[in-house]
Every structure is written in structure tokens, then in C-alpha cells.
Amino acid sequence: MTRKTPIIITGGGQRLGLACAKALVAQNYEVIITYRTPREDFELLENQGISCIQADFSTQLGVDKFIASIQRDYKALAGIIHNASEWVSEKNASDTALLMEKMWQVHVSAPYRINLAFEELLCAGSKIEGQADIIHMTDYVSENGSNNHIAYASSKAGLTNLTYSFAKRFAPHIKVNAIAPSLLMFSDNDDEEYRQKTLNKSLLQREPGEQEGVLAIQYILSSRYITGRTLPLDGGRHLV
């Protein structure tokens, strides 16, 4: 069976990005993921129909190389899911100026340049599939700020704003939306005290897991009438 037009997932080598890649392959999409660090299971992913491209979005050169490789190898795209992310606090940064620069490079500059570079490919995908999508993975803190991750929060707010601008620029053939999670899943090194404190921040007080994010992505991709919107996944945290 011929696969659907490709979808790119940046930062797709683990956690939510990887879960989304596997779900979209199951829906017969051709899926392209980017990763920074090679993993042993990437050969298995390639055999499952997931193309894996190493890319470093923290530098302009890394973005340039990624754009050139996609433009060389593909004629159309059904979507781009901007999931690549860096999460560093001011407390753990040796140089806050470099931290701010890196956060904006990864979360704002890279998606901005990629969206512009792939406009023609997305329009071609829209003609094939009936529509094309861009999804920006932002964060709950983009609207509320963070006292521990100031540079990170500001850059995610910038990515949220890109959603509105690109939705206007690319309408009506390309839908552009954002998903703003709070907690989806804990890291293995999160201790019990941190986990409980985080759970208590939301009304539903649960760790929903990566599939909650996958369902949100699938909803946006299947919708034909939502653009320029941010879908919150916060368990009612805004009411606590």
C-alpha cells in the first residue's frame, strides 16, 4: 500500500516524538524524524518505515544542512511537528546570555526558518492530501512564565506567537496550530517528592503519559477547521 505524504517530526527519537512517529506510521504516513544522538534502535525504526535524520537545531549550520537534505530528497510534505526542544534552567547555565541565545535558536529561529523553507513542499502536500499541517509543541509556561526556566519560557512564548503569524501566512491550504503541555510524563531521575509536588499543580493530579500528546496531535491532523490555535494539555492546572 502506498504511504501518505511524509510528515516530519523534529526531536522524534524518544518520548513523545517517538510515540507520535510510531502512531503516524501505523496510520500509513511516511514519517521522517530528526535526532541529535544516535540510538541503537534507529535501525529498527528505519525497518518500520521511519526515516531518521541526524540534525542539530542549536546552530544555524545545523538548520541549513537539515533544510537542504529535505529539499533534496522530498517533493511534498503533509506536515511538520516541531517537537525538538531544550530544557535548561538558569541555575544550571554557566552563561545566561548563551542560554537565552540557545533557547531562542532551538525553539524560535529553527522552526521559523524551517517553516519558511518548506512552504512550497507543504503546499504540494496540501494538493495531494487535501490539507497540510504545522504543529508547534510549546509549553504551559509560555503563558504563565517560570521563575526557574526564564529563557526557556520566553522562547516557548515566541514559538506560540509564530503559530499565529504562520497561520495567517499559510492559510487556507496549511493549518498551523500549537499544543501546550504541562506534565505529560516524568523522567526516570525525578524523585518522589518532585513527582508529588508536580502532580499537585493540576486538578486531575495524574501523569497522563505520551499517548495524551499523541491523541492531541492526531486530533489536529484530522481536523479540517482549526488553525491559529493552541491546544492546552494541563489537567486543569490553570484553575489551581
Q: Which residues are catalytic?
A: 152
Taking only Cα atoms into account, the Rg of the chain, rounded to an integer number of angstroms, comes to 17
The DSSP secondary structure of 109-148, one letter per residue, reads IHHHHHHHHTHHHHHHHHHHHS-EEEEEE--THHHH--SS
CA angle, residues 189, 194, 200, in degrees to nearest 5: 140
For the chain, the residue count is: 240
Nearest-angstrom CA–CA distance, 71 and 34:
15
User: Among 134, 116, 131, which residue's Cα sits nearest to residue 179?
Assistant: 134
148 and 91 Cβ atoms separated by less than 8 Å: yes
